[in-house]
Amino acid sequence: MRDDHFGFNYTWADLAPIRGLVAFVIVFQFIGLGLGALFHRFPSTLDSAWFGGAIATLPAFVGGLLLQLKLNRPSITQNKRMVWHFGLVATALFVFALAMPILGYGE
C-alpha cells in the first residue's frame, strides 16, 4: 500500500489479505446492479442499476466482514485501515443511494 495526499491508495495486491471481504462485496454489488436494472426505480436503466449496486454495498460489506472474520480473523486487524476505508466508502454509497429517492431524483 502506498499513501497519497488523501491518505490511502490501494492496489489489487493490497486487497489480497481481505479477499473474502472484497469478493463478497463485488458479487453482491453485481447482484444489486442486476436487480436495479431489472426493477426500474428511476427513468434511466443506468441510474437504476447504480442505485441497486450502491444499496447492496453496505449490507454486502457487513456480510463480507463476517465472512472474512470466519475465514481469516487476523487479516482484519492487520489491515484495519484498509477495512475502515472500505467500510466508509460502502456507507457513503449506501447513504447517497438512499438520498436519491428522498430528494426526488428522477421524478
pLDDT per position as a tens digit, 31-75: 999 999 999 889 899 999 999 999 999 999 999 999 999 999 999
Residue 23 pLDDT: 94
Model confidence band, residue 8 (pLDDT cutoffs 50, 70, 90): low
Q: Which residues contact 105 (CB under 8 A, 6 or more apart)?
A: 42, 47
Residue 99 has pLDDT above 80, yes or no: yes
Angle at CA of residue 56, ends 51 and 60, nearest 5°: 160
Contact 58, 94 (CB under 8 A): yes
51-62: b or e for each residue (b if 16 or more CB lie within 10 Å)? Answer: bbbbbbbbebbe
Residue 104 pLDDT: 87
Residue 5 pLDDT: 55
Task: Return d(Cα 94, Cα 51) in angstroms, integer.
Answer: 9
Residue 107 pLDDT: 76
Distances (CA, A) of 52 to 11, 39, 41, 65, 82: 26, 9, 9, 20, 24
Instruction: Read off the pLDDT of each residue in 5-14 and give the average, rounded to a whole number.
Output: 68
